Chains A and B, each alone.
Chain A
Amino acid sequence: MIEDHERIEELLAGYVLRSLSGEDAVEADELLSDHVPVCGRCRDTLTDFQSLSADLALDTPPVAPPETLLPRLHRELEPVPHRRRTGQLVAVAASVALVAGLAGISLTQFVRAGDRQARADDMAAALDLARQPQADLVPVGPATEISAPGADEFFLYGTGVQAPPAGSVYRVWLVSDTGAPPTYAGELPYEDGVVFLKVTFDPASFTELDVTVEPSGSAPSAPGTVVWTAAA
């Protein structure tokens, strides 16, 4: 854990400008999850820097967007179910449930994580995707995989999920039918019965998704015990 506030503020400045990469970005993510939420000075600094970042946008002369943009938006503001085909009512109902659940995440897990903007972006993307007529909603144990045909990312979301055993975490693995070793996709964050993770992947090589239980802090060198699985 970094305790040098000069260094922390350097990272926060780079973070709000979206100019970090590599180890700095990882370090900033850790700070935003672990240190900033419990440090008043850093919370204030982050808030100030975020406000400054938005103010910088005003240095750019305003430009009227194309006249077609607002009508394009209006077309898409129509109530979602009216645009759906009747054969997709089941998917619509599932989407609505997902939307309600995701809104709950925004008020709890996202705030505590500190990295509100990035997670809010992910949540908005999940909502966008879940509401698309072509969205695939695939059960993965008690969770749901939200994806779209041909997309290179999906979201794994669930509520009412049982906590992993003490000292363990949920992890996500992508499995190929080519015999290649499974690919580690990341830890599936769990909090108060909710799991949510965005995964970027190569659709051409992904045939199965496994969620495993593994010791917390262990190296994700190979899949542990598979607890939920779904075919692509």
Chain B
Amino acid sequence: MGVREGDREDLELHRRLTTGDRGAFDELYRRYASAAYGLAYRLTGQQILAQDVVHDAYMALWRAPEAYDPARGAFRTFFLSLVHHRAVDTVRREERLRKRQERAANLERVAGEDVAEGVVNEAWVAIRRREVREALTTLPPEQRQVLEMAYFDGKTQVVIAEELQIPIGTVKTRTLAAMRKLRRALDQEDDV
């Protein structure tokens, strides 16, 4: 199953969701809850906070499915962005989580790669995951570093500049360069 087929199925599930179809809600949960929870846990470093982030994202989806506009991209993009934003907001609200976040990073390595027991790993999501990881390996280390500090640590560019002791202009330049390089790499994958 290709990525585009998966996106089309999401569109149909979303359409059903707008009619209050609980079966569609369950299917979207089955498809994305593991990716969402993994992301939220990586950012917040706490199971209970990660659970709240995912819970709130799914409830927001249930209550206002029209917030997703299919004309603006894939459902996956919308929903994982929603989860990411909520997780970042949670981290920033609770600065004390910083230390726990470091501990979570360690826990993640202990947990091992990819699939935890019971995780539903859609084939097309797995394909995209592999493409994203391959694309990330093409980034120069300094670009990947600022990208990960922003996205996975929820840090602002100002904080990144302070921690790396580099000008904020350099952080911005590296971030944009990383995004452009990733875009090119993934565009090539899409064309294959």
Instruction: List A residues at the B interface (Cβ < 8 Å).
Output: 6, 9-10, 13-14, 16-22, 24, 47-66, 69-70, 72-74, 76-77, 99, 102-103, 106-107, 111, 116-118, 120-121, 123-125, 127-128, 131
Q: Are B114 and A62 in contact (CB under 8 A)?
A: yes
A131 and B81 alpha carbons, distance in the complex (Å): 24
Assess whether A117 is in contact with B151, with CB atoms less than 8 Å apart: no
Flag if A117 contacts B85 (CB, 8 Å): yes
Contact B82 A57 (CB under 8 A): no
Closest to A24 in B: B157
Across the interface, do B125 and A58 meet the contact criterion of CB distance under 8 Å? Answer: yes
- Which residues on A sit within 8 Å (CB–CB) of B175? 10, 13-14, 17, 19
When chains A and B are docked, how far (Å) is the Cα of A65 from the Cα of B86?
A: 16
Chain B residues engaging chain A, CB cutoff 8 angstroms: 22, 25-26, 29, 33-39, 41-42, 47, 50-51, 54-55, 58-60, 62-64, 66-69, 72-74, 76-86, 88, 108, 111-119, 121, 125, 128-129, 132-133, 136, 147, 150-152, 154-158, 160, 172-173, 175-176, 179-180, 182-183, 186
Task: Find chain B residues with CB under 8 A from A74 CB.
Answer: 22
- Nearest B residue to A104 via CB reads B66
Q: Are B176 and A56 in contact (CB under 8 A)?
A: no
User: A19 to B156, Cβ gap below 8 A?
Assistant: yes
Q: How far is the CA of A55 from the CA of B54 in the complex (A)?
A: 17
**A127-B63 in contact (CB<8A):** yes
A62 touches B121 (CB 8 A): yes
Q: Which of B51, B66, B115, B150 contacts A62 (CB 8 A)?
A: B115
Are A63 and B173 CB-contacts (below 8 A) given A47-B73, A51-B77, A128-B60? no
Q: Is the CB of B35 within 8 A of A116?
A: no
A77 to B55, CA, bound (A): 12
Closest 7 CB pairs of A and B: A62-B34, A124-B60, A19-B150, A120-B67, A54-B77, A65-B37, A63-B38
Q: Are A64 and B67 in contact (CB under 8 A)?
A: no
A49 to B179, CA, bound (A): 7
Closest CB in chain A relative to B46 CB, distance in Å: 12
Q: Which residue of A lies closest to B52 (CB)?
A: A69
13 A–B pairs (Cβ distance < 8 Å), ordered by A: A10-B173, A17-B147, A18-B150, A53-B151, A55-B186, A57-B35, A61-B113, A61-B116, A62-B116, A63-B119, A66-B51, A106-B67, A116-B72
**Contact between A13 and B176, CB atoms less than 8 A apart:** yes
Using A62-B34, A62-B38, A62-B119 as known contacts, list a sample of 7 further A-B pairs with CB atoms less than 8 Å apart, ordered by residue number in A: A13-B175, A53-B81, A55-B128, A62-B114, A64-B118, A74-B22, A124-B67
Given A19-B157, A106-B64, also A58-B77 (CB < 8 A)? no
Q: Which residues of chain A have C-beta atoms less than 8 A from B152's C-beta?
A: 56, 59-60
For residue A76, give the distance in angstroms from its CB to the closest CB of chain B: 6
Q: Chain A residues near B108 (CB, 8 Å)?
A: 61
Residues of B close to A20: CB separation below 8 A: 156-157
- Closest chain B CB from A156 CB (angstroms): 18
In the complex, chain A residues whose CB is within 8 Å of the CB of B69? 111, 116
Q: Are A70 and B29 in contact (CB under 8 A)?
A: yes
Residues of B close to A124: CB separation below 8 A: 60, 63-64, 67
List chain B residues, Cβ under 8 A from A116.
69, 72
With a cutoff of 8 Å between Cβ atoms, the chain B residues found around residue A57 in the complex are 35-36, 39, 80, 83-84
The answer to whether A62 and B35 touch across the interface, beta carbons within 8 angstroms, is yes
Question: Inside 8 A of A102's CB, which chain B residues have their CB?
Answer: 64
Residue among A24, A47, A99, A121 facing the most chain B CB atoms (10 A cut-off): A121
Give chain A nearest CB distance to B4 CB in angstroms.
13
